[in-house]
C-alpha cells in the first residue's frame, strides 16, 4: 500500500470508517496513531482512543486482544520519538537524471524496469536507500509493480545479479527481503514524478525508452507511430465503439 498523502487519506477513512481491502490493519493503526498523537499527552489514553477508533471500522476477523500489544508498541514508539509521528505528505516521488544514468548502465529492459521500481520504492520508504519487505510477498509486489512476470527463481536471480554487480546490497547474505540501493545520492534534476505505484515498469519504458509509449487508459506499452497516438489499439477501438453507442443513444432520444 503506497500512500503519498497520509493525512488526506486518514481524514477520508475517519469519515466513513471503511477499511480499504489493500490497507493492512497495522498500517491503519499507525495512521490513526499519527492522527491522535498530538491530541493526547498520556500514552494509555492515546492507546485507548486508537483501540476505540479501530473498533469502529468493524474489520471482519479483527480481535482486539490479538492487536493490543501491537497498538501499544506503535503508539509508544511514536510517543518517545523512535518512529515518525508526522504524516507522509508527498505530491510525488521524484526520479532524478542521476537515477536514470545508473539505470541506463543496465543491460536490458527487464533490469532497467526493476531498478527504476526499486529506486521509486526506496525514495518512498525514505530510509537512506533501504527497502524493507518482511516477506517474499513484498518482493513479489515489487516485481509486479515492475511489470516483470516469472517465478521466485527469476526474482532471486535478477536480485542476485544486481547485488553481484554492485547496484544493491542485502541486510544479510541471502536475505533478499531487505534491499539497499547502493548509490542513493542524487542530483537536483527531476526527470519523472511517480504518483502511482502501479505499472512502474511500464511507466519507465513508456517515458524513457525511445520509440515506445504507454497507453493512457490501460498502461500497456505500445510503439510510437509518428501520429499522436495516446491509446493502444484495443482501448482506441473501445472508445470509438463507446462514442458510436453514445451517438446512437442521443439520436434515438431526439
Ligand atoms: Zn490500452
CA 227 to ligand 1 center in whole angstroms: 16
Measure 223 CA to ligand 1 centroid, in angstroms: 12
Predicted local distance difference test score (pLDDT) of residue 251: 87
Domain CATH for 130: 1.10.10.10
Q: Is residue 37 part of a domain?
A: yes
Tell me the three state secondary structure of residue 203: helix
147: phi then psi, degrees, rounded to nearest 5: 55, 45
Give the Å distance between the CA of 4 and the centre of ligand 1. Answer: 26
- CA 197 – ligand 1 centroid, Å: 18
Alpha carbons within 13 A on the beta-carbon side of 150: 15
Q: Mind listing the pLDDT tens digit for each residue in 196-252?
A: 999 999 999 999 999 999 998 999 999 887 666 789 989 999 999 999 999 988 888
Q: How far is the CA of 222 from the centre of ligand 1 (A)?
A: 9
What is the longest distance spanned by two Cα atoms in the chain? 71
**What pLDDT is recorded for position 177?**
80
Overall domain count for the chain: 2
Residue 175 has pLDDT above 90, yes or no: no
Distance 212 CA to ligand 1 centre (A): 13
Q: Which of 85, 64, 65, 88 is CA-nearest to residue 76?
A: 85
* pLDDT score for 176: 66
The residues facing 223 across adjacent strands are 212
Burial class (CB in 10 A: 0-12, 13-18, 19+), 62: middle
Residues with Cβ–ion distance below 5 A, ligand 1: 215, 217-218, 220, 232, 235
Residue 231: strand, helix, or coil = coil
* The last residue of a domain, from among 146, 181, 216: 181
User: Cα(214) to centroid of ligand 1, in Å?
Assistant: 8
**pLDDT tier at 174, thresholds 50, 70, 90:** low
**Mean pLDDT value of segment 87-102:** 96
Which of 181, 204, 238 is a domain's end point?
Answer: 181
Residue 117 neighbours by CB distance under 10 Å: 26
Expressed in angstroms and rounded, the spacing between residue 213 Cα and the centre of ligand 1 is 11
- Between the CA of 237 and the centroid of ligand 1 the distance, in Å, is 9
Cα–Cα distance, 214 to 220 (Å, whole number): 6
CB under 8 Å to 146, separation ≥6 — which residues?
Answer: 113, 114, 116, 117, 200, 201
Residue 199 lies in a domain: no
Q: The whole model's pTM is what?
A: 0.82
**Ligand 1 center–CA 216 separation, angstroms:** 7
In a domain, 58, yes or no: yes
**Residue range(s) defining the domain that contains residue 65:** 6-79
Q: Sign (positive/negative) of CA torsion 237, 238, 242, 245?
A: positive
Answer yes or no: are the C-beta atoms of 219 and 233 closer than 8 Å.
no
Q: Give the distance (Å) from ligand 1 centre to CA of residue 225.
A: 15
Task: Flag whether 167 is in a domain.
Answer: yes
Question: Which residue in 198, 188, 189, 210 sits closest to 104, CA to CA?
Answer: 210
Residue 172 lies in a domain: yes
- For 249, phi and psi rounded to 5 degrees? -65, -45
C-alpha cell at 115: 531498478
Residue whose entry in the numeric block shows the C-alpha cell 516483470: 148
Question: Is residue 237 in some structural domain?
Answer: no
Quickly tell me which residue has 539505470 as its cell: 103
Whether residue 16 is contained in a domain is answered as yes
- Cα of 238 vs centre of ligand 1, distance in Å, is 9
CB-based contact 155:111 (threshold 8 Å): no
Separation of alpha carbons 3 and 10, rounded Å: 10
Q: What is the pLDDT of residue 134?
A: 78
**Distance separating alpha carbons of residues 96 and 193, to the nearest angstrom:** 9
* Within a domain: 192: no
Amino acid at each position: 500500500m503506497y500512500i503519498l498523502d497520509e493525512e488526506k487519506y486518514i481524514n477520508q477513512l475517519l469519515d466513513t470508517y471503511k477499511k480499504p481491502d489493500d490497507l493492512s490493519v497495522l498500517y491503519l493503526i499507525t495512521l490513526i496513531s499519527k492522527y491522535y498523537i498530538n491530541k493526547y499527552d498520556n500514552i494509555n489514553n492515546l492507546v485507548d482512543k486508537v483501540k476505540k477508533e479501530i473498533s469502529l471500522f468493524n474489520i471482519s476477523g479483527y480481535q482486539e486482544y490479538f492487536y493490543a500489544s501491537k497498538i501499544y508498541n506503535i503508539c509508544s514508539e511514536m510517543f518517545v520519538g523512535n518512529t515518525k509521528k508526522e504524516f507522509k505528505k508527498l505530491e510525488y516521488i521524484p526520479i532524478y537524471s542521476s537515477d536514470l544514468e545508473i539505470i541506463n548502465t543496465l543491460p536490458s529492459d527487464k533490469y532497467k524496469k526493476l531498478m527504476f521500481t526499486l529506486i521509486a520504492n526506496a525514495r518512498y520508504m525514505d530510509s537512506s536507500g533501504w527497502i524493507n519487505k518482511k516477506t517474499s510477498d513484498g518482493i513479489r509486489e515489487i516485481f509486479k509493480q515492475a511489470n516483470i512476470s516469472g517465478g521466485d527463481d527469476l526474482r532471486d536471480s535478477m536480485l542476485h545479479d544486481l547485488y553481484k554487480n554492485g547496484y544493491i546490497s542485502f541486510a544479510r547474505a541471502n536475505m533478499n527481503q531487505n534491499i539497499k540501493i547502493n548509490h542513493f545520492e542524487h542530483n537536483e534534476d527531476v526527470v519523472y514524478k511517480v504518483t502511482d505505484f502501479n505499472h512502474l515498469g511500464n511507466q519507465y519504458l513508456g517515458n524513457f525508452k525511445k520509440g515506445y509509449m504507454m497507453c493512457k487508459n490501460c498502461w500497456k506499452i505500445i510503439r510510437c507511430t509518428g501520429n499522436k497516438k495516446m491509446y493502444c489499439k484495443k482501448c482506441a477501438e473501445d472508445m470509438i465503439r463507446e462514442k458510436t453507442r453514445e451517438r446512437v443513444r442521443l439520436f434515438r432520444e431526439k
